[in-house]
Structure 1
Amino acid sequence: MPTEGKFFELFNQHAELCVKGAKEMVALMTNFDDLEIRVHAIEGIEKQADQVTHHAIDMLHKTFITPIDRDDIHQLITRMDDILDLLEDAAQTISLYDIKAITPEAKRLAELCLGCAEKVKAAVGLLHNMDNSREILAICVEIDRLESDADHVMRAAMSKLFRDEPDVRTLIKLKAIYELLETVTDRCEDVANIIEGIIVENA
Structure 2
Amino acid sequence: MSNKKNNCYFEAFMELADYSKQAADLLNDYVNHFDLSKMGEKIKEMHEIETKADSTKHEMMDRLTKEFITPIEREDINHLFNVIENVSDTIEDVLIKMHIFCISEIRPEAKEFANIIVKSCEALKKMMAEFPNYKKSTQLQKYIIEINDLEEEGDKLYTGSVHNLFSTSKDPIELLTWTETMDRFEKSCDSIEHVAIVVESVVMNNI
DSSP 3-state at the match of 2:139: helix
Q: What is the one-letter code of the residue matched to 2:99?
A: S
Q: What is the one-letter code of the residue matched to 1:20?
A: Q
Establish whether residue 89 from structure 1 lines up as the match of residue 87 from structure 2.
Answer: no
1:11-22 matches, cutoff 5 A? 11-22=13-24
Gaps of 5+ in 1: none
DSSP 3-state at the match of 1:123: helix
Give, in whole Å, the separation in 2 of the partners of 1:114 and 1:69: 30
RMSD: 1.3
1:19-55 CA-to-partner distances (Å, cap 9, x unmatched) read: 0000000011112223332222111100000001101
* CA drift at 1:171: 1.0
Could you tell me which residue of structure 2 aligns to residue 71 of structure 1? 75
User: Which among 139, 142, 159 is matched to residue 138 of structure 1?
Assistant: 142
Q: What is the one-letter code of the residue matched to 1:22?
A: A
Could you tell me which residue of structure 1 aligns to residue 114 of structure 2? 110
Give, in whole Å, the separation in 2 of the partners of 1:40 and 1:167: 30
1:128-167 matches, cutoff 5 A? 128-167=132-171
Could you tell me which residue of structure 1 aligns to residue 128 of structure 2? 124
* CA drift at 1:124: 0.4
Could you tell me which residue of structure 1 aligns to residue 4 of structure 2? 2
Give, in whole Å, the separation in 1 of the partners of 2:191 and 2:136: 23
Give, in whole Å, the separation in 2 of the partners of 1:103 and 1:132: 44
- What TM-score do you get using the length of structure 1 for normalisation? 0.95
Q: How many residues align?
A: 203
Give, in whole Å, the separation in 2 of the partners of 1:31 and 1:173: 20
Give, in whole Å, the separation in 1 of the partners of 2:25 and 2:40: 15
1:47-79 CA-to-partner distances (Å, cap 9, x unmatched) read: 000001101211111111111111111111111
Give, in whole Å, the separation in 2 of the partners of 1:117 and 1:166: 35
Query: Are the equivalent residues in 2 in contact too, given 1:3–1:63 (CA < 8 A)?
Result: no
Q: What is the one-letter code of the residue matched to 1:73?
A: I
1:69-107 CA-to-partner distances (Å, cap 9, x unmatched) read: 111111111111111111111111111211011111111
Q: What is the one-letter code of the residue matched to 1:154?
A: Y
Give, in whole Å, the separation in 1 of the partners of 2:93 and 2:70: 32
* CA drift at 1:131: 4.8
Could you tell me which residue of structure 1 aligns to residue 172 of structure 2? 168
Structure 1 stretch displaced more, 28-37 or 175-184: 28-37
- What TM-score do you get using the length of structure 2 for normalisation? 0.93
DSSP 3-state at the match of 2:132: coil
